[in-house]
Structure 1
Amino acid sequence: MTSLLSIRDLTIDFRTDRQSFRALDGLSLDVAPGRTLALVGESGSGKSVTAQAILRILPRSAAITAGRILFTEPGGSGAPTDITALPADGPGMRALRGGRIAMIFQEPMTCLSPLHTIGDQVGEALRVHTGASRAEADAQTRDALERVGFPDPQRALHTYPFELSGGLRQRAMIAMALIMRPALLVADEPTTALDVTTQAQILALLGRLQAETGMSILLITHDLGVVANMAHDVAVLYRGRLVEAGTREDVLRRPGHPYLRALIKAVPRFDMAPGERLTPITPARVTIPPRAPPTPRAGPILSVEGVSKVFALRSSRAAGQAGLIRAVSDVSLAVEAGRTLGLVGESGSGKTTLSKIVMRAIAPSAGRVMFDAGTGPRDVQALAGADLFAYRRAVQFVFQDPYSSLDPRMTVGEIVAEPMKIHGVPKRERQQRARDLMAMVGLEAGGLSRYPHAFSGGQRQRIGIARALALEPRMLLLDEPVSALDVSVQAQILNLLKDLQAALGLTYLIVSHNLAVIDYMADTISVMCRGRIVEAAPKATLFRNPAHPYTRALLAAVPDPSLDHPLDFAAVSGEHSDPAAWPQPFRLAAAEAGAMREIEAGHQVRMGEAEALRAA
């Protein structure tokens, strides 16, 4: 069979004023018609550079120094086109780019123009390539949006990207890429920024569209679970070189290269033995000084009691109307000292809002947060002056995005020392403490004089953890701390957090949409949906006997790297988060809150009020 895309001996170098760097070194691979090739590897392996070379959108500092990229029209009898021989801005390349070869980028919010409607952006390729009129483009754009699952395609024509969820933005990107019915779709980490259920829906959509159109897909990812559920063929990159390639069955069932075997061991799995640790490819060397164990206490260190948060819609305020969004509804939970509570749910379920309430970054509309610093529980919202200052020191936050959470104008030393400076720690003590913190998170003290841009994503997250530990807190709030990281770097960070907790007696509240990560980290788990806790239990109990249909859908949506546990795409069709669609006894009417009921020791689940009364 003739390959749709054939890359032969491709070499790409990046040049700077001081040195050159080889990003791809003699890469050869083939994408067959109608099949999906997964290009796998960590950040820096050359995956995205390969995609940019195919579309000829490499940065100015990069150059193709050897090799060819041959594109053959499906069913065509002519000679293949050598993409490397075409001028990047010439008519031949423009005809291919967006027409016969299309691309989906990793982060839809930064790739969609905030100034143009979805209709304008999706229809632009059609108007550029075919000269279609505005009416013709709108009609075909509406059809494309309907094909990718927009609930109201007509309305979406006039919608701006900021008005859409992450999943709908990614669907808009897919519609934009496919409106010209390309022969090849290059998908660069198309689901990394999405929660697991939305990711499953997008993967199912890509599979359906491929079956309908016969297009080929070059799927770039570091997630072996996605590979196991989407790919026909697999190619593994390591530092710009191809180290393993073959069919999905051959590569995943019989991995030959040590790098691929190491990647598989770095992925959190539900079947891990008690006490088993993830195995990162490059273990980090950390130095954690011993600390006296915390004084045993009775009762939880943190209690959230009936907390709700209501936001007024901006347009409703302007119009004098009472438009309200209930982000958190009557949430109660407790975290024991030295333990980890995992808070799980999809994007928009209220997890981050609740963590901000705990941090006192926003005030609750109702309920209270109680924190026990060792002298008895106190209402966090009532703290002021020195008491509030002490609370800020005792509870610290680790943010989701290691790139935007560090000030690019400050050195790492200034970033790590800033909390200590605010809290009056003497300068000499700050400097020594900063060096100790760098060793504690596995970084060299020499990095204190460098700026964040000089570090990788995983290293930046370590800097964020060091900053959070600067004031010797009792508790860390971890908001999706590894969702933006490669699987091996993710394993390093998760192991680091476990080691820090064991050595320093820390308490964690970890927010995530990935139940496999929560399974590895947490002692107890609370599951949130539409602002409410729908299930809460010890980890072993929840995974042994998930009762709520929403919890089961989240579990079903986690892609497993094993070919023996394929994703059940039907389980995450979209109704899993609709309380009115849940089966009895869990179904909730429009204004019904339901009630939590214990179904076994320590295991609570939300039921409809009438069903809960009968269960009681």
Structure 2
Amino acid sequence: MPEALEPLVRIRDLAVDFDGDAGLVHAVRGVSFDLHAGRTLAVVGESGSGKSVTANAMLRLLPKRGRIVNGSILFRDPEGGGTIDIAGLDAASEKMRQLRGARIAMIFQEPMTSLSPLHTVGDQVTEALRIHDAVPMAEAQKRAMAVFERVGFRDPKRMLDTYPFELSGGMRQRAMIAMALICRPALLIADEPTTALDVTTQAQILALIKELQAETQMAVLLITHDLGVVANMADDVVVMYRGQVMERGGLADIFRRPEHPYLKALMKAVPHFDMKQDERLTPLREIRIDAAAAAAAAHCGREPIQHGRTVLAVTGVTKTFTLRSGGLLGEPQQVSALSNVNLTLRAGETLGLVGESGSGKTTLSKVIMRAMAPNCGQVCFDDGGGPRDVFKLKGPDLKDFRRAVQFVFQDPFSSLDPRMTVYDILAEPLRIHRVGNEDQRFQRVKDLLELVGLDQRSMRRYPHSFSGGQRQRIGLARALALNPAVILCDEPTSALDVSVQAQILNLLKDLQKALGLSYLFVSHNLAVVDYMANDIAVMCRGVIVEQAPRETLFRSPKHPYTQALLAAVPSPDLDHPLDFARLTRGGFSNPADWPEPFRIVPGETRPEMAEVEPEHFLALARPCAPAHPEPMRAAS
């Protein structure tokens, strides 16, 4: 076989075991596939399917309890002049150290925890180069600046002295890519490289990987659960479930002619834009609730609010933060997080709030929760007794508001106390608000677990013993404990794989129907918001730029920022690929780059909402009011 046609990596019958507390765990069983230079192989599957274990085995980065028990990992080193069986190498051997980082590099899932907070980005990127190539520091910094420029940093020299906490999520991920690419590896392993990123940043990172791959002909092993990313990036696909390969083949075969029932079920769990009004996602494991029992179990004295009545109204909310630059003596700098935001949430409905990271979505949620005070504006809550200004509530009225409006957080693991059992987590809100006695609270916790589809035997377990989807259900149960009228959902499914995401989204819709809940659903995934929301508001840099019913917004988006967001959503449809060329040009999140009549220039124009068609609002540029000059003084 000609060398050009030989696989760069050939894995055969790979098996990895872990010595778990409950016995032996077969994490990977009989996995085989080939990976060629210049091509991208996507490994897809749910969390726990063995994707990351397979990748870590290729780098010999398995934990102490894990070991390769069978199979081979043959790596054809283009520079070493031979084929190496990585499975037969000692993980701490000099040969493995030479391969790891230099010939095989990895981009990890969470860049913030993968980068050292104590060292600058420049130190961390040059370290990889100096270890493998033994170049002087000046040469290492020169090559680091070249790769910084290549991955899209505007000021490569400044990155040498920048710490990871000073960068956004997308910039941190670019720093990870720079670290992986500085030694020009033959194989790049990307483990969920865009999971925590918003869609526009994700599209830019994916475009960057494709561009660099075309230049260097490196092979890419892409680990993901996002079938939209797979459809836009992969040449070949491997589908894994419980440590085994269920199906593998070329991209077109996998997407147009799926054969295995698991792959077909995985595709049905992905939300897409052309779903019908009453169409339902099909998760692999459905959570069914009894609507009548749910309504009875949830009743804690609150009468249901009349459907369609305005339950939450945000009017003219503005919030600025003060930053100090240039050290202790520097001039304070004002940063606008929210600018004249107006929103209305009706009882029994869902209002979707979408936008990039840093657009102000979470800040607005905190203002509504009264966890943060605005500079000006008003938040009114109406539970049936008339609208009341949230920031004027005191004493018992404020405590009632805290019960009526609850929060579901983005990361279910960090939002649950690891030292508390599930029973303590769910009973805590009841104790704080003095709801019932201990026996009644115990029954309430049992009802809540049943409400979210968890076994009652779970109440004595700790959060670390649950999967991501189960932890999110615990967080949802905690939010439901006090029978709220409104739940603010802040990216509740962004960290979950597609099948578990479908579970949680269906559960939220079922609970809304059964309990008459109202949701403010914050997300950067427009396909998810399309599935959940009745109305959608699009936010950019603290400004609502467009708001409309979901059918109107997706049928005829008017604002250039909304159009860019929709264009950046990767679809699991081979006939609708991402336009990488358009997305990499950027400019869509900078109001000064928008075309007329949307262009916002500080000091010259300001946004003003206008109704362009029934219930469809757009932020149009209007001239700023002229400043009144000071009266001239008479000459002395």
The two structures have a TM-score, normalised by structure 1, of: 0.97
**Per-residue displacement from partner, 1:8-58 (whole Å, max 9, x unpaired)?**
100000003540100000110110111000001110000000110001000
Following the alignment from structure 2 to structure 1, what is the Cα–Cα distance between the partners of residues 327 and 614?
Answer: 46
**1:397 matches 2:399:** no
What does 1:98-109 align with in structure 2 at a 5 Å threshold?
Answer: 98-109=101-112
Residue in 2 that maps onto 1:244:
247
Query: Which of the numbers 334, 341, 347 marks the counterpart of 1:324?
Result: 334
Q: Per the alignment, do residues 298 and 93 of structure 1 end up closer, same or farther by CA in structure 2, a change over 3 Å counting? A: closer
How far 1:608 sits from its partner (Å)? 1.2
Following the alignment from structure 2 to structure 1, what is the Cα–Cα distance between the partners of residues 289 and 263?
Answer: 25
Residue in 2 that maps onto 1:586:
598
Following the alignment from structure 1 to structure 2, what is the Cα–Cα distance between the partners of residues 296 and 508?
Answer: 15
Following the alignment from structure 1 to structure 2, what is the Cα–Cα distance between the partners of residues 339 and 283?
Answer: 23
Residue in 1 that maps onto 2:73:
69
Residue in 2 that maps onto 1:86:
89
Following the alignment from structure 1 to structure 2, what is the Cα–Cα distance between the partners of residues 409 and 57?
Answer: 29
Following the alignment from structure 1 to structure 2, what is the Cα–Cα distance between the partners of residues 18 and 526?
Answer: 48
Residue in 2 that maps onto 1:364:
374
Check whether the contact 1:25–1:240 (CA below 8 A) recurs between aligned residues: yes
Residue in 1 that maps onto 2:98:
95
**Per-residue displacement from partner, 1:423-456 (whole Å, max 9, x unpaired)?**
0022111110100000000000100000001100
**Per-residue displacement from partner, 1:50-99 (whole Å, max 9, x unpaired)?**
11000100011101000110000237753x10001111011100000000
**Per-residue displacement from partner, 1:316-336 (whole Å, max 9, x unpaired)?**
783262211111111011101
Following the alignment from structure 1 to structure 2, what is the Cα–Cα distance between the partners of residues 8 and 86?
Answer: 16
Query: Which of the numbers 122, 131, 147 marks the counterpart of 2:125?
Result: 122
How far 1:291 sits from its partner (Å)? 2.9
Runs of 4+ in 1 over 6 A off after TM superposition: none
Unmatched runs of 5 consecutive residues or more in structure 2 = 297-302, 625-636
How far 1:595 sits from its partner (Å)? 1.0
Residue in 2 that maps onto 1:53:
57
**Per-residue displacement from partner, 1:140-159 (whole Å, max 9, x unpaired)?**
00001001011111111110
Check whether the contact 2:468–2:496 (CA below 8 A) recurs between aligned residues: yes
Residue in 1 that maps onto 2:453:
442
Following the alignment from structure 2 to structure 1, what is the Cα–Cα distance between the partners of residues 242 and 394?
Answer: 52
Query: Which of the numbers 551, 558, 583 marks the counterpart of 2:562?
Result: 551
Residue 565 of structure 1: SS of its match in structure 2?
coil
Residue in 2 that maps onto 1:485:
496
Letter in 2 for 1:312: T
**1:286 matches 2:297:** no
Following the alignment from structure 2 to structure 1, what is the Cα–Cα distance between the partners of residues 329 and 311?
Answer: 43
**1:533 matches 2:544:** yes
Query: Which of the numbers 197, 204, 208 marks the counterpart of 1:205?
Result: 208
Following the alignment from structure 1 to structure 2, what is the Cα–Cα distance between the partners of residues 92 and 257?
Answer: 39
Following the alignment from structure 1 to structure 2, what is the Cα–Cα distance between the partners of residues 398 and 327?
Answer: 22
How far 1:132 sits from its partner (Å)? 1.1
How far 1:397 sits from its partner (Å)? 0.2
Query: Which of the numbers 147, 157, 162 marks the counterpart of 2:160?
Result: 157
Following the alignment from structure 2 to structure 1, what is the Cα–Cα distance between the partners of residues 81 and 537?
Answer: 59
Residue in 1 that maps onto 2:432:
422
Check whether the contact 1:10–1:66 (CA below 8 A) recurs between aligned residues: yes
Check whether the contact 2:324–2:330 (CA below 8 A) recurs between aligned residues: no
Check whether the contact 2:307–2:516 (CA below 8 A) recurs between aligned residues: no
Residue in 2 that maps onto 1:305:
315
Following the alignment from structure 1 to structure 2, what is the Cα–Cα distance between the partners of residues 239 and 553?
Answer: 37
**1:562 matches 2:573:** yes
Following the alignment from structure 1 to structure 2, what is the Cα–Cα distance between the partners of residues 261 and 424?
Answer: 48
What does 1:182-261 align with in structure 2 at a 5 Å threshold?
Answer: 182-261=185-264
**1:350 matches 2:360:** yes
How far 1:2 sits from its partner (Å)? 0.6
**1:21 matches 2:32:** no
Following the alignment from structure 1 to structure 2, what is the Cα–Cα distance between the partners of residues 105 and 295?
Answer: 46
Letter in 2 for 1:353: T
Following the alignment from structure 1 to structure 2, what is the Cα–Cα distance between the partners of residues 493 and 412?
Answer: 18
Letter in 2 for 1:565: H
Residue in 2 that maps onto 1:264:
267
Q: Per the alignment, do residues 202 and 422 of structure 1 end up closer, same or farther by CA in structure 2, a change over 3 Å counting? A: same
Check whether the contact 2:270–2:502 (CA below 8 A) recurs between aligned residues: yes
Residue in 2 that maps onto 1:599:
612
Check whether the contact 1:280–1:489 (CA below 8 A) recurs between aligned residues: yes
How far 1:585 sits from its partner (Å)? 1.3
Letter in 2 for 1:83: I
Residue 594 of structure 1: SS of its match in structure 2?
strand
Following the alignment from structure 2 to structure 1, what is the Cα–Cα distance between the partners of residues 260 and 462?
Answer: 35
Residue 491 of structure 1: SS of its match in structure 2?
helix
Residue 575 of structure 1: SS of its match in structure 2?
coil
Q: Per the alignment, do residues 298 and 95 of structure 1 end up closer, same or farther by CA in structure 2, a change over 3 Å counting? A: closer
Following the alignment from structure 2 to structure 1, what is the Cα–Cα distance between the partners of residues 327 and 9?
Answer: 54
Q: Per the alignment, do residues 297 and 260 of structure 1 end up closer, same or farther by CA in structure 2, a change over 3 Å counting? A: closer
Query: Which of the numbers 306, 323, 334 marks the counterpart of 2:344?
Result: 334
Residue in 2 that maps onto 1:44:
48
Check whether the contact 1:557–1:567 (CA below 8 A) recurs between aligned residues: yes
Check whether the contact 1:287–1:442 (CA below 8 A) recurs between aligned residues: no
Residue in 2 that maps onto 1:614:
none
What RMSD over aligned residues (CA atoms) do the two structures have, in Å?
1.5
Between 593-602 and 336-345, the greater mean CA deviation after superposition? 593-602
Check whether the contact 1:234–1:247 (CA below 8 A) recurs between aligned residues: yes
Following the alignment from structure 1 to structure 2, what is the Cα–Cα distance between the partners of residues 181 and 138?
Answer: 16
Check whether the contact 1:48–1:188 (CA below 8 A) recurs between aligned residues: yes
Between 491-500 and 278-287, the greater mean CA deviation after superposition? 278-287
Following the alignment from structure 2 to structure 1, what is the Cα–Cα distance between the partners of residues 70 and 145?
Answer: 42
Letter in 1 for 2:594: W
Letter in 1 for 2:618: V
Residue in 2 that maps onto 1:499:
510
Residue 414 of structure 2: SS of its match in structure 1?
coil
Check whether the contact 2:308–2:349 (CA below 8 A) recurs between aligned residues: no
Following the alignment from structure 1 to structure 2, what is the Cα–Cα distance between the partners of residues 295 and 329?
Answer: 30
Aligned length: 611
**Per-residue displacement from partner, 1:373-417 (whole Å, max 9, x unpaired)?**
211101101111111000000000000001101000000010011
Following the alignment from structure 1 to structure 2, what is the Cα–Cα distance between the partners of residues 85 and 76?
Answer: 17
Residue 588 of structure 2: SS of its match in structure 1?
helix
How far 1:420 sits from its partner (Å)? 0.5
**1:31 matches 2:35:** yes
Residue 606 of structure 2: SS of its match in structure 1?
coil
Following the alignment from structure 2 to structure 1, what is the Cα–Cα distance between the partners of residues 308 and 267?
Answer: 41
Check whether the contact 2:308–2:348 (CA below 8 A) recurs between aligned residues: no
How far 1:297 sits from its partner (Å)? 6.7
Following the alignment from structure 1 to structure 2, what is the Cα–Cα distance between the partners of residues 491 and 285?
Answer: 13
